[in-house]
Amino acid sequence: MGAITAGELRAQLEQGLAASEADALAERLRARVGAEALANGSAQLVDELEVGWAIAAPGARMPPTVVAELGADFRLPTRPLGDTGLFVATARWADGSAVRWYYEVDGARVGGGQTETYLRHPDSRERPDVPKGRLLARAPWRSRVFAGTVRDWSIYLPAKTAGPAAVMVFQDGVRFYQDFVPTVFDNLIADGAMPPTVGIFLNPGIFADTTVSNRSFEYDTLSDQYVRFLLEEILPEVAREQPLREDATGRAICGMSSGGICAFTAAWQRPEQFHKVLSHVGSFTNIASGPTLRDGGHNYPALIRKMPPKPLRVALQGGANDLNHAAGSWWLANLQMADALRFAGYDHTFAAGRGFHSLAHGRAIFPDSLRWLWRA
């Protein structure tokens, strides 16, 4: 029957379970979340607005309790799943909820996690009558601009094009974006909400023959090196297979966290090449602090306010419960970016949510973000 969903778990608990059904349900839970997560108290099931919890606590004297720590106020008792040693609980939350929680087992705090719930956008659902593009893995790319690095990457080719196609680049693309972007592209291209667009999904470089990532240097540094990598290496390579538009309005760039600030930096450095920016929980903070300890992305709001406006269209998304540490507050940094863009007269939008440092909110509103970015 496959891995179980949170809604299915809730329905089965409401109906009541025989011993054999409990055993079968436990196996499906292990298939969904893994034995390690069940043991360490990090297991959770999130399917749109349905939420489920499961913990392995065979020696517990009392059923564990799920306790909200941030974003809500509840103590949710679990119930034993037969004699399997697993305890489970379910709930249905509102769209846009964001809650930090943990388990309480015999008075002790165990595990925990952060959960966000969003309705799935209709444009994120596959439609049988829509022409489907192709997602193609590419051989690992060895860069000249970032010497010594190699990276995984893939491309999406739209089903139909008439002449050169628009292009959208995604940082951390193979890791975070390629699983859901093609379906949205298929639907919006078919609707005429965006032009036929090639998607380029790039992971950060790793130094060859090592596991050392070059991500922060590539993404957080305020220079033109990453956009040169795109213009000198990646775009010409993709154009050998599918001709690409060369006008800035036909090019967009997107990323989350450090990938988000990287997207902005690429367009900021070369606005004649990239017009559209989409940043999810962007790291406009002092990560790339440099020798002065203040060379990071927190400088952008001041630069935006003082420099002549550049021909950019910028969509930002941020969450009120995002990271807050020595490099800065991600929430406040995105508020500052949005206010600076407003002050300087940029074409911009800011989607404010309650989420954590995750792609969950950005993914939920992704189709609407694209419709806004690619509007005439």
Q: How do residues 77-99 score in pLDDT, each as one tens digit?
A: 999 999 999 999 999 999 999 99
Rounded CA separation 264/257 (Å): 11
Q: Give the Cα separation of 247 and 231 in Å (integer).
A: 13
Alpha-carbon distance of 7 to 45, in angstroms, equals 9
**Which H or E run includes 113?**
strand 108-117
Which one-letter amino acid corresponds to residue 217? F
* Cβ neighbours, 10 Å, residue 142: 14
Under DSSP, the state recorded for 177 is I
pLDDT at 349: 98
Cα separation, 175 vs 234, whole angstroms: 18
Residue 73, judged by CB atoms within 10 A of its CB (0-12, 13-18, 19+), counts as: exposed
Question: DSSP character for 299?
Answer: G
Quickly state the pLDDT bin for 1 (edges 50, 70, 90): low
The domains located in the chain, with CATH, are 6-117 (2.60.40.10), 122-373 (3.40.50.1820)
* Band of pLDDT at residue 19, cut at 50, 70 and 90: confident
Beta bridge partners of 100: 70, 114
